[in-house]
Amino acid sequence: MPRGSPRNPLTWLGGLIAAYLILPLVAFVVRFLADPTRGFGTPGLFPALWISISCATISLVLITLFGVPLAYYLARSRSRTASVIGVLVHLPLALPPLMSGIVLIYIVGPYTFLGQLFGEHLTDSMTGIVITMTFCAAPFLIIAARASFVTLDEGLLDVAATLGHSEMSRFLRVAVPVARPGIRAGMLMAWLRAFGEYGAVIILAYNPASLPVYTYNQFSGRGLPMTLAPTALALAIAVLVVVLSRIHFTKFPRHHVAAPTPRAPTRAASRPVNFDIDHHVGSFHLTVNHKSNTSHLAVLGASGSGKSALLRCLAGLHGSAPGPVWYGDHSVRNVPTEKRRVGYVAQGFSLYPHLTVWSHLLFADGATPELAAYWLSHLHLDGLENRYPSELSGGQRQRVGLAQVLCRSPEVLLLDEPFSALDMPVRLELRRELRKLQRETGLATVLVTHDPEEAGFLSSEVIVIASGRVLQSGASREVFARPASPEVARLLGIANLHHATVAARGQIDACGAFIAVDTIDLPVGAAVLWSIRPEHVAISSTEGSSQSGHADVALLGTITDIADVGTAIDLFIAITGELEIQARTLDPVDFQVGTRCRVELPPEAISLWAVSTSLDSDANLSTNV
């Protein structure tokens, strides 16, 4: 059934409530048009209208000025105080308006301290009307703005902090513009609620009469016909306000950007990042330390391993509590994030929806048009200056995010899964550009990723972590060549990880296949796990010559599958009924599925680990042997 079809029960249900809300208004319009004596000339009508409009507007200004910061606090704080305040803010909605006026009397009534302090002028005055409207209408704005702030991407605020913006600047320049739709909706509801308030106003400020009070007086004194004019004015004002609120100024006007002459940044001094982090995030405990020998470090791990938390600690987003951090020889432990001169590219694209590309490049504290023009050209963003993030492709958005942080001339560049949301061709292109950027700028980089290939391509050192702990660290080449455990091997994407037992000195029994390995000091029968990288596996025909010079230790197998992955060819060879080995080659192959072949496994290319008793759990793994 088509969406919105008249037969759809949802359409009928929605239609019933719509009719219930609309029919009374239609009935009023019919009566208004039919009655020649509508009461527009009645004394006091337009002064009452002006009082309601002006007091509701003043009230809205006060609610917005104080309520939006409160909503921001309630959305971001997890403290018990914030929870209590959040509950109390809702209470005026539960109170009948009459009772709201009564409770206000205990604060601003003529005989209270405040009432006496202001000469008993807080009631029966426009001030009293504003006080009452503010009390009754404020929750509407606070609740709507809080809901909008809750959905705010934390990464936007984090990036703004690393770009040099203080807490107040982040609130005004990021949080408020991004949460603008919710704030605008709350302002609309608050103004309409204040404009229509009657019960509390009549208790606290009967004179001068607001429009609702005036209307009730006309109804009780002169009957229903005299309410036509004030009701019509109230409806007209409400319609006007609602219509104006639906005009969406979602983006600032576009202005043509005449980019100045580009100025290349000064080459940064190499500042390797060193750290000793001990940090708790709820029940998760992150403890990682590292002394870098080079400028390009990668942190590799699966989702939930603590990679992003570590990067946030290095950026200072958790303050000084996690532990000392050094950029080069300079300790930044007690330096606020906005003063660290760190470039932080958060996971995802973390761009500001209300800013154009050019505004993004000038958003960082200290960014100059000349430097922005350089990165605009250098990162192939020419012609995109006036576009908003929603008008960019994924690769373009990632380039903007990178250009934005580079415009601050950071000392260190922190990258949190920068390419994970991109298609493979774009990902490979941007990897290459980032590697070129590392070479040209001299910037120290810390890359967080779950992609071993990405880690190897963009780093000279790598840390492999899991569950907040370091499994292995060192030079990238060494870590990839000799993973310290099967868990590290899996995270590095190393295939051919199998169980075996020691058969003799320099030999293991892998499911009935005897494989030569480098000499090991383990007793015969000891359980081990072993692996060999697919590119180190050599295969040849049973009649052909050796491919690796290890014909004396070759095994015989049957090819079970051949996969052409574009850049290489993967072959899967069954050695025994339980052992299958993957080989990878860049050369064309003449083999077919089912062909018998010779498999050569160079002993020096095999990584071996001892296990204590269980062959099925990595919990009992010991060190590489």
DSSP string, 285-314: EEEEEE--SSSEEEEE--TTSSHHHHHHHH
* Amino acid 558: pLDDT: 95
Q: Note the pLDDT of residue 625.
A: 46
Phi, psi of 67, rounded to the nearest 5 degrees: -75, -35
Determine the pLDDT at residue 621: 38
How far is residue 538's CA from residue 554's CA, in Å, rounded to a whole number? 9
pLDDT of residue 262: 79
> Strand 569-574 vs strand 412-416: parallel, antiparallel, or unpaired?
unpaired
Residue 287: what pLDDT?
95
Give the separation between CA 280 and CA 481, rounded to whole angstroms.
32
Note the pLDDT tens digit of each residue in 444-494: 999 999 999 899 999 999 999 999 999 999 999 888 877 888 888 889 888
Instruction: Tell me which DSSP letter residue 36 carries.
Output: S
Q: What's residue 260's pLDDT?
A: 78
Question: Which pLDDT belongs to residue 71?
Answer: 97
pLDDT of residue 618: 41
Contact 196/152 with Cβ under 8 angstroms? no
pTM: 0.81
pLDDT of residue 547: 59
Q: What's residue 3's pLDDT?
A: 59
pLDDT given for residue 480 in this prediction: 87
Dihedral sign, CA of 125, 126, 131, 136? positive
Confidence at residue 617, expressed as pLDDT on a 0 to 100 scale: 40
Q: Half-sphere exposure of residue 66, counting CA atoms within 13 Å on the CB side?
A: 11
What pLDDT does residue 573 have? 95
Domains of the chain plus CATH, in order, are 20-245 (1.10.3720.10), 273-481 (3.40.50.300), 486-624 (2.40.50.100)
What pLDDT is stored for residue 286 in this prediction?
A: 95
Whole-number pLDDT of residue 622:
37
Secondary structure class of 163 (helix, strand, coil): coil
Residues 6+ apart with CB under 8 A from 178: 152, 153, 156, 352, 353, 354
Q: Which of 490, 580, 497 is nearest to 532 (CA)?
A: 497
Residues of the chain with pLDDT under 70: 1-6, 248-259, 268, 544-552, 612-625
Which of 590-625 are b and which e, b meaning 16 or more Cβ less than 10 Å from the residue's Cβ? ebeeebebbbbbbbebbbbbbbeeeeeeeeebeebe
The token pair at 361 is: 């490049």
Sheet containing strand 580-585, strands side by side:
538-541, 596-600, 555-564, 569-574, 580-585
